Structure 1
Amino acid sequence: MTASLREVALRSLAVAVPERVRTNAELAERHPELVRRPERGSLDRIMTNAESRPEMAKIDASILPYIDDPFRGVVERRSLSGDETSIGLEVAAGREAIARAGLAPADIDLLISVGFLPHHVGIGNAVYVARELGLRGAAWNLESACAGPLNALQNAFALVRAGEYARVLVTVSCAYTRFAREDDTLSWFLGDGAGAFVIASEGPGAEHLSSYSMHTADTCGSWYYQLELDDAGAPARVMRAHPDTGKLMRGTVEKHLRRCCEGALERAGLALGDIDFFVFHTPTAWFRDFACAALGVDPQRAANCYQHYANVGPALTPINLHYAAVTEKIAPGARVLVYGPGSVSSAAAMILRWGEVGLGPVPAKVSYS
């Protein structure tokens, strides 16, 4: 390291989720016909393999155990209700991360907010989070769908290492349930959540070894948002999937995974066998098993707490990493590879050498036992 660059560490990690839990029993009671005839829903059309090709073999095998489940492996999801917002979740996670780093809000020089989708149309969450936390420094928005947390962390590490800022707070949120209709089965594998990290130039923490990111233009058109009228007759943004989304995802997911993980390993001067633990973004119940099969990794060396949260978009990265840390699956000195894919945006991988990281508590109503 040259004299002009500073040491930098991930000092803390915290997560936050809404209080409301939506169960399969609740959905089955309200939508019995969709449970009896799942083939009529968009979730089934996306996740059922109608066309198998050799490059899809690993992911098809991972999906097979869930094919007769109308909920496709989801057990429960957490969803925003009442006056709860993604801004509030970012504030809660950010406040905890600052405290766990042994800092005060006035110590934070920069906030990078990854809000997907932000609470306000056309305006990201950053300044609202900064206001609620009482921050005095800069506040930026960075959005790259589900790869957003890793891209934000890469920027935070680089900025602190270069001396532009001494302490950066990264907050991440997902508000999927606000943009999906419950009578569309697509919403059944979606949830809401948030996380936050503090990156600083002093103190203990996890060391950044490498990063690798790529665009995912080959998934353009798979997911999109459109204006529709809600049940009250008001215009609302609604998430939709193209009929070919499932085929497109299965045809590109392994390519993105391999390129990013291999790229991060090469930049760190490491081999796959040098990695002690893997934290994959898990947008489906089977993604961990698929990723492990694709890379030839033992699933016991990879995190998966999907059953507690379902798909919470970019919040999966801090949530899965937090889960791995609080359950002591990773210990100080361990090399951890973190991977996050993002449709119509980016895919990214990062390698950390884990250290003494201040961890926020496990969310209420969640048991990892």
Structure 2
Amino acid sequence: MNARIRHVAYHLPQAVSTVEDLAREMNNGWSAEKIVRKTGIHARHIAAPGECASDLACAAARALFAEAACTPREVDFLLFCTQSPDYLLPTTACLLQDRLGLPTTAGALDFNLGCSGFVYGLGMAKGLLLTGQARKVLLLTADTYSRHVHPGDKSVRTLFGDGAAATLIEASGVSADSADEALGSIGQMVYGTDGAGYKNLLIASGGARLPRCAETARECTDKFGNTRSQDHLFMDGPEIFKFTMQVVPVCVNETLTRNGLAMSDVDLFVFHQANAYMLESLRQKMGIPEERFYVNMADCGNTVSATIPIALRRAVDDGRLKPGMRVMLVGYGVGYSWAGTVLQWA
């Protein structure tokens, strides 16, 4: 028995911010063409006032149910990956269990992880399934990073969009449908953590270490013209890029080794969709042919924990991910954290 992805659906909020909007608003010499050239992002979806990550996740889950992947009553466990919970407590996954009509016998938990969260979630779901603790796991990934970004911080505002994905994971053989109607088995996992880099992607205030106050809300402008406070998201772009270039190629090689594969055995590589420049740098460094490397973020930006499942669903819809193919997934980012695995398309 193995664990496999049965279905993926996603949801993006209605409001859209384009690079033309940003260029007009920032008025700092960043043209729309320059933003696209540096990021590969033309537009991002932005959550409406009062719209939470849980609302996006709920919409993604309902889309999955509407596509007849399963019914809410069949879900045994709910995993919710977010860094934008509704409350400090209770666990947002408990609220989602009630809103989605999942059985009260289902387990539900949040886990706080960003851009590597989807791959970590696959690993946790696989563990629940293979140990017999669940038969169907609903993995929801959603974030509203726009809430954390200062309007005057072009270093992050041009990158992050809001969005959610819902992924149904089940034990192989549970469904009576033909194998070619589902994503295939989840392979061996590779994980990594380097907490020494935590300061390079950080919201400093709002937790027990530094509660928000008038002092943390004080704004400042850095030497690059980016304005923010300690209440807002900070990213050291050069350090994040350096970290990515170091760990992702190693993670890819370790994932190949653990799964008994060579680079040529992988039909499609789907990495965390951080930005086009970073993805292209990784592709070139590892010598991955363009036709085997999937990038799809131009109209939604970096949706954090939801980038990989959104890309997977779009690869299916685009005809880039087909039955019989092997696809490698690699997530990396905040923490620092990273993870990789290989899916076999059934």
TM-score norm. by structure 2 comes to: 0.85
Which digits, 9 at most, give the CA deviation of each residue in 1:314-354, with x for residues without a partner? 11111111111111101111000011102224101110001
State the Cα distance separating 1:249 from its structure 2 match. Answer: 2.0
Distance 1:71 1:20 in 2: 23
Give the equivalent residue in structure 2 for 1:164. Answer: 133
Residues of 1 paired with 2:285 and 2:169: CA distance?
A: 31
The alpha-carbon deviation at position 68 of structure 1 amounts to 7.7
The secondary structure found in structure 2 opposite 1:310 is coil
Residues 210-289 of structure 1 aligned to structure 2 (within 5 Å): 210-225=188-203, 226=205, 227=212, 228-229=216-217, 237-241=231-235, 245-289=236-280
Q: Which amino acid aligns with 1:109?
A: D
- Partner Cα separation in structure 1 for residue 337 and residue 185 of structure 2: 23
State the 1:217 CA deviation.
Answer: 2.4
Counterparts of 2:336 and 2:297 in 1: how far apart (Å)? 22
Equivalent position SS for 1:33: coil
Show the counterpart of 2:208.
Answer: none
- Counterparts in 2 of 1:303 and 1:123: CA distance versus 1, 3 Å: farther
> Within 2, Cα distance between the matches of 1:345 and 1:325?
30
- Whether contact under 8 Å (2:252, 2:340) holds in the other structure is yes
**Which residue among 94, 112, 116 is the counterpart of 1:147?**
116
2:19 corresponds to which residue?
A: 24
Stretch of structure 1 that moved more, 23-32 or 333-342: 23-32
Asked whether 1:336 is paired with 2:327, we answer yes
Matched, 1:74 2:18: no
Cα deviation, residue 122, structure 1: 5.1
Query: Partners of 2:87 and 2:42 in 1: how far apart?
Result: 30
Task: Give the distance between the partners of 1:325 and 1:69, measured in 2 at CA.
Answer: 25
Q: C-alpha offsets along residues 128-178 of structure 1, whole Å, 9 cap, x if unaligned?
A: 211110112110112222111110111101211221111100000011101
**1:164 and 1:105, CA in 2 relative to 1: closer, same or farther beyond 3 A?**
same
Identity %: 23
Q: 1:246 to 1:349 in 2, by over 3 A?
A: same
**How big is the shift at 1:34?**
5.6
Residue identity opposite 2:165 in structure 1: G
- Following superposition of structure 1 onto structure 2, how do residues 1-369 of structure 1 map, counting pairs within 5 Å? 6-33=1-28, 35=30, 72-100=39-67, 102-121=69-88, 123-136=90-103, 137-185=106-154, 186-201=156-171, 202-203=174-175, 204=179, 205=182, 206-225=184-203, 226=205, 227=212, 228-229=216-217, 237-241=231-235, 245-355=236-346
Deviations 1:186-233 (A, max 9, x none): 2222110110111112124211122111113242210111345499xx
**Would you say how many aligned residue pairs link Structure 1 and Structure 2?**
316
Aligned CA distance change for structure 1 residues 253 and 107 (closer, same or farther; 3 Å): same
> For 1:268 and 1:289, how far apart are their aligned partners in 2?
25
CA contact (8 A) 1:212 1:264 kept: yes
Change (3 A) 1:252 1:103: same
Q: What TM-score do you get using the length of structure 1 for normalisation?
A: 0.80
| Aligned AA (2:92) | N
- Of 222-231 and 344-353, deviating more is 222-231
For 2:84, give the aligned amino acid: L
| CA shift in 2, pair 1:222/1:352, >3 Å | same
Separation (CA, whole Å) in 2 of partners of 1:12 and 1:261: 24
Matched to 2:190, the amino acid is Y
RMSD: 2.4
Residue ranges of structure 1 left out of the alignment (5+ in a row): 1-5, 39-65, 356-369
Q: Is the 8 A contact 2:116 2:338 kept in 1?
A: yes
Structure 2 gaps, min length 5: 206-211, 220-228
Q: CA deviation at 1:71?
A: 6.3
